[in-house]
Amino acid sequence: LILSFGSVNIDVTARAVRLPRPGETVHAESYAIGLGGKGANQAAAAARLAASLGLRVALAGRVGQDAFGAQARTGLQEFGVDLSHLRDDPQNPTGLALIGIDADGENSITVAGGANMALDAADIEAAQPLMAQAKVVLLQLEIPLATTLAIAQSARSLGAQVILDPAPAPEHGLPDALWNSIDLITPNESETEHLTGIYPENVDDAARAADALQERGVPAIIVKMGARGVYWRQDGQSGFVSPFRVHAIDTVAAGDCFNAGLATALAQGAPLAEATRVAAACGALATTRKGAAEAAPRWEEVAALLG
């Protein structure tokens, strides 16, 4: 079982010629309402990958008792995600991201965490049976940091491999206890810079950043460098995965599809070097299609790209 424990949002995305300035109203050409939130995206993408592998994928989290919550549930069910531990929150609305995109593809995003920010010890307690079955637990940073820490500690004590996607980049860094409670961290370029002060342009930069990350106490590291490839390190071994050549049209949630691929490969027992290749292929394929989780590839497509 792969368990994503994290955020569920509804993304409301409006496309306009340009983004509004403060106090201004602009006319959008179109808008779309879809499933989002890194916890949900990673679960949905993993479920699509796992469908033909006989692997189960579950999402633990919270949605509000509102129309957006119902829409998120329906969307996740269509991907085949186990929602037995997605709880209804009677007090808070479903998480919402208001996304504006201009003609150049530049975006501005306002996120209202809603029910995601109410995740607490009760949710972890309720999810114990699921966590006990999980081989891999996927975490991100769109729920309270204290809850993320408690999930990591609990999942680890139950024997799961804990992967932290440090996204969005934590404003005040991460607490020591969290560094010591995860098995693998997967920052992209800007998150790497945020956590280490080093912006990774190449393998040498990524290796220096990995030194700094390792010093914090995390045993395995993957530095995602977008179209420049991926650096990984574990147990004194390291490697670089060249970017797969694809025609990228939309990088939204490429990182989420990457982590979904990583979890799927690791849950099948692949070593990190191989799992990183699978993940990079998933991320690359996700950039060839529009949307967040909808852009996630199937296992057969990943296998074909890997050759």
Q: Which residues are annotated as a binding site for substrate?
A: 9-11, 37-41, 142, 256
- By beta-carbon proximity to ligand ADP, the closer residue of 61 and 283 is 283
Name the phi and psi angles at 2, rounded to 5.
-105, 130
Q: Which is nearer to ligand ADP, 34 or 226 (CB)?
A: 226
Q: Which parts are annotated binding residues?
A: 9-11, 37-41, 142, 188, 224-229, 250, 252, 255-256, 286, 289, 291
Told to judge if 123 belongs to the known catalytic residues of this protein, a careful annotator would answer no
Residue 255 contacts ligand ADP per CB under 6 A: yes
CB of 307 to ligand ADP, least distance (A): 15
Chosen residue from 82, 258, 260, 262 binding ligand ADP by CB under 6 A: 258
Region from 4-12, 40-48, 195-203, 244-252 binding ligand ADP, contact rule CB under 6 A:
244-252
Q: How far is CA 57 from CA 82, 247, 257, 266, in A?
A: 6, 29, 14, 13
Going by C-beta distance under 8 Å and a sequence separation of 6 or more, which residues neighbour residue 59? 3, 4, 5, 6, 8, 39, 40, 43, 76, 81, 82, 83, 85, 86
Cβ closer to ligand ADP: 75 or 187? 187
CA 89 to chain centre: 22
> What does DSSP assign to residue 82?
B
Query: 36: closest CA among 98, 89, 88?
Result: 98
- The single residue among 75, 200, 283, 291 that binds ligand ADP, judged by CB under 6 A, is 283
**Does 169 contact ligand ADP by CB under 6 A?**
no
Number of C-beta neighbours around residue 301 at 10 A: 16
> Which region, judged by CB under 6 A, interacts with ligand ADP, from 57-65, 134-142, 251-259, 297-305?
251-259
Half-sphere exposure for 197 (CA within 13 Å, toward CB)? 2
The tokens describing 122, both together, are 């009760």
Q: How far is the CB of 214 from ligand ADP (least distance, A)?
A: 19
Q: Of 37 and 255, which CB lies nearer to ligand ADP in the complex structure?
A: 255
Are 114 and 97 contacting, i.e. CB atoms less than 8 angstroms apart? Answer: no
Which residues belong to the annotated binding site for ATP?
A: 188, 224-229, 255-256
Nearer to ligand ADP, 94 or 186 (CB): 186
Contact criterion met (CB below 8 Å) for 59 and 43? yes
188 part of the interface to ligand ADP, by CB under 6 A:
yes
Distance CA 88, CA 69 (A): 8
By CB under 6 A, the residues from 197 to 236 that bind ligand ADP are 224, 226-227, 230
Q: Min. distance of Cβ 80 from ligand ADP in angstroms? A: 23
Q: Quick one: tokens of 142?
A: 């769109």
Measured in Å, how far apart are the chain's first and last C-alpha atoms? 26
Please report, in range form, the residues annotated as the binding site for K(+). Answer: 250, 252, 286, 289, 291
**Structure tokens belonging to residue 123:** 């949710």
| Amino acid letter, 265 | A
Residues carrying an active site annotation? 256
Q: Which residues contact ligand ADP (rule: CB under 6 A)?
A: 167, 188, 224, 226-227, 230, 243-244, 246, 248, 251, 254-255, 258, 280, 283-284, 287
